[in-house]
Amino acid sequence: MKTTLFARVTLNPREAAAKTLEIPPGQSSLHSGTFAAALDWRDSACSLRVESTDGSPLTHGLCWDFEDWSEEVYVFLPAGGYAGNRFPSRKLPYPPRHPEAFSRTDPNRPLITDVPRLSLEPGPSALQLRSGDLAFPAFGCFDPRSRKAWLVLATKPKEAADWLWEVRENEARDRASFRVSTPALRDSPVYLMPAMQRDTPDTAQPSAAGDFHDLNVEVMEWDCPDLPAFFDTVFTRRAQLTADQTVPRSFPFSASFDLIEDHYNRESWSELLGLYNTDCSPGAATPFQTGWCGGMIANEALLASSSPLTRDRVLRSLEIFLGGAPTPCGLFHGKRRADGAWVADFAHDTAHPHCQHWTLVRRQGDALWYILRQISLLEGLAPDFRTPPAWDESIRNCARFFAGLWQAEGQFGHFLHQQSGEILVDGSCSGAILPAALITAWRRYQEPALRDAAVASARYFAETYLARGYTTGGPGDALQNPDSESVAALVESYAALHDATGDEEWLRHGTRAAALASSWVMPYNFPFPSDSEFGRLGITTRGSVFANTQNKHAAPGICNHSGEGLLRLFRATGDLRLLDLLTEIARFIPQTISRADRPIHDKGGNVLPPGWINERVNTSDWDDNLGGVFKGSCWCEVAMLLTAAGLPGIYARPDTGLIRCLDHVQAEWTDNTRSTLRITNPTPFPARVRVMVEPGAAAAKPLPLNFAATLPLLHIPPGESRIAE
């Protein structure tokens, strides 16, 4: 790739008298009657400083022109653009549904919604995103023709909140320009959920004479064999952005668990349905939904409760679900209505009658995977517990269905017919958790077809999606936009396959999936406006996870996993990036829980009840609620429950001295022998901390399925310390 760097300053942007001046290649400064600009380029560091002399509005930026461009070049903006989002697109209201005439799709061309993207059509093409639209301020590309990669990152991401990252192509698609500028001035139309539908609100304000504005970036170019290698470098460089970013220790995992458990028993339990509802709002038509968004997933965490009431309710929900949810083909029903009827995912959607028998593959995979885990946990916790044969029959039938579907179709699809199991919309990684579910079912039932489908599908996902630098189909409300949920599920699947088979192939694929997943996770603390709700509360963003390129917000946790697979992959590889990524994600969540002593308010001033977590971590204006939430109890509560019950609060290795505190506590070795840990609870709340201390030799052995249930719990009063051996 041949690039040419130059700097650009525009005076009086948005006005008829706008004038653009450039610092051409080889020149380091530019002066006019209204500003002075200085460009400094040393090694990989590039900076541009512009000083105003008369206060006139201006923008300034850095531009890289690519002279040998092609639509084959992969364009990347973290959490905002994968393959430049150059896919077929439809402008649809929320929640979008695949059109009636649409059934089959090419994995190379997923159908996405009307989001910022490079164009498939003839004519000019441009993609513009603000820093807040991205997991971290950066853009880059990979050229498969030359095997070259290129990446630009803001070296001080907190100072880049008002930057614009854009890629522009000419009509012939043989030239492209990558530009980063400030202040961010987007062209019309800009994205307002769920489409490119409003005039730009961006304006350039006058500044006082003598004010200066900096752009500081790092520019990398390197030989790169493929996209997994590109994302491996992104993973490493992203991790370096976390160096000076902290997450406050404010609320322990156990306190989070207790608060959410109380909320679940107070507001989410339905005595009529015998289930923990996923929608506790009054009058919800379908208060329970399987899998995606939490249904039957939280049970695994709630089994860690000491409350007989909670445990009895979990057992009752398993009995009701496994007895009433399966359909003739072996699938589970997608939802349950308030009157008790089991229905498909979109049975209530009268505006799209062609979708009323559809079920999301991801729903099915989530339910199968987590119910298998719950059965294993119940059998381990209570030696006298015997799984009812009818439960095993329902579980086995679902696993057999997907093994048979794979054998017949060579894929799991995206949406299936609820009753027949026919693939109605294909393509996507919606079944990304199914390799984990199937390999776990094989370990339980010893049916070779389950293992074969797990292995073959896991390879397919790696070769079809990881190799192309995006995954799709995780959420059921975003068509096939690139998303974080499906790649997070792949991390779990590859970890499960390695633990079951010992084959190092899965470590390679798992680390690649984790590298791609890391590009969705914020490594820095976004500067919220002081008058926003998150600004008022001082909520930091490091470790929050962006959802997808349609729902352009970060969120507390992974939907719907703890990230346990990252720990399993770390233990097998020793790659600290995996453990550190897990630590970031886990430590972020507790600060977003609404509490009686620290309530969180929505945009209208309504208080979220104690134990509620809203999914929005809004760092952009995609829904006109920067730094705010809506009043809603969301799947993030499930992620927090799984984090508290399924992960160690502290992970330590005495042979290397490694300590990582996932929980909101502090830990240190008491002496040079590293035989004991001193763990301190700096919060004003009691903490029950799961402690995992192991030497490297132990880390070489796979963990049991529900390993966290056997970890010792250390009780630490507020402000006190305890010793763990």
pLDDT tens, residue by residue, 190-224: 999 999 999 999 998 888 888 888 999 999 999 99
Domain range for 712 is 658-724
Q: Say what the pLDDT of residue 492 is.
A: 98
In this model, does residue 25 exceed pLDDT 90? no
Q: How far apart are CA 152 and CA 133, in angstroms?
A: 16
Task: List, for residues 617-675, the tens digit of each pLDDT value.
Answer: 999 999 999 999 999 999 999 999 999 999 999 999 999 999 999 999 999 999 999 99
In this structure, are 202 and 351 located in the same domain? no
Strand order in the sheet with 358-360: 358-360, 415-417, 423-425
Alpha helices for 556-664 (secondary structure H): 564-573, 576-588, 636-646
Residue 236 lies in a domain: no
Say whether both 324 and 213 belong to one domain.
no
In this prediction, residue 218 carries a pLDDT of: 96
pLDDT tens, residue by residue, 680-699: 999 999 999 999 999 989 99
The predicted-structure confidence for 566-596, as pLDDT tens digits, reads as follows 999 999 999 999 999 999 999 999 999 999 9
Spell out the residues 6+ positions from residue 295 whose beta carbon is closer than 8 angstroms to its own: 275, 276, 278, 288, 289, 367
Interval 95-103 mean pLDDT: 81
Q: Give the residue from 617, 647, 677 where a domain finishes.
A: 647
One domain, residues 281 and 395? yes
Task: Kindly report the backbone phi and psi dihedral angles of residue 49, in degrees, each rounded to the nearest multiple of 5, phi listed first.
Answer: -115, 130
Tokens of 573: 């590889």
Instruction: Report pLDDT for 281.
Output: 87
DSSP 103-124: ----TTS--EES-S---SSSS-
- For residue 123, the model assigns a pLDDT of 87
Domain harbouring 588, CATH code: 1.50.10.20
pLDDT band at 283 (very low <50, low <70, confident <90, very high): confident
> How many whole angstroms separate alpha carbon 662 and alpha carbon 685?
16
Helix (H, G, I), strand (E, B) or coil at 482: strand
Q: Tens digit of pLDDT for each residue in 466-494? A: 999 999 999 999 999 999 999 999 999 99
601 in a structural domain = yes
Taking only the tens place, the pLDDT of each residue in 316-362 is 999 999 998 889 999 999 999 999 999 999 999 888 999 999 999 99
Q: Is there a single domain that holds both residue 175 and residue 285?
A: no
Domain co-membership, 618 together with 710 = no
For residue 53, the model assigns a pLDDT of: 87
Domain identity same for 642 and 665: no
Q: Is 241 domain-assigned? A: no
Percent of the chain residues past pLDDT 70, beyond the cut: 99
Residue 410 falls inside a structural domain: yes
Tell me what pLDDT residue 6 has: 85
Query: Is 354 part of any domain?
Result: yes
Same domain for 460 and 482?
Answer: yes
- For 26-72, write each residue's pLDDT tens digit: 788 888 878 899 999 888 999 999 998 888 899 999 999 999 999 99
Do 138 and 22 fall within a single domain? yes
Confidence of residue 2 (pLDDT cuts 50, 70, 90): confident
For the entire predicted model, the pTM comes to 0.97
Domain for residue 426, yes or no?
yes
Residues with Cβ < 8 Å from 594, sequence gap 6 or more?
600, 607, 608, 609, 610, 611, 612, 613, 614
Answer yes or no: do 331 and 367 share one domain: yes
581 and 662 in a single domain? The answer is no
Confidence at residue 105, expressed as pLDDT on a 0 to 100 scale: 58
Quote the pLDDT of residue 103. Answer: 58
Amino acid 3: pLDDT: 82
| Residue 239 covered by a domain | no
Using one digit for the tens of pLDDT, what is the confidence trace for 100-122?
Answer: 766 555 666 899 999 999 999 98
Tell me what percent of the residues of the chain surpass a pLDDT of 90: 86
Boundary of a domain, candidates 605, 624, 647: 647
- Asked whether residue 677 falls in the same domain as residue 544, the answer is no
Instruction: For residue 240, tell me if it sits in a domain.
Output: no
Shared-domain flag, residues 175 and 41 = yes
* Number of domains into which the chain is organized: 3
Taking all residues of the chain, what is their mean pLDDT, rounded to a whole number? 95
- Final residue belonging to a domain, choices 647, 680, 708: 647
Q: What is the mean pLDDT of residues 379-408?
A: 95
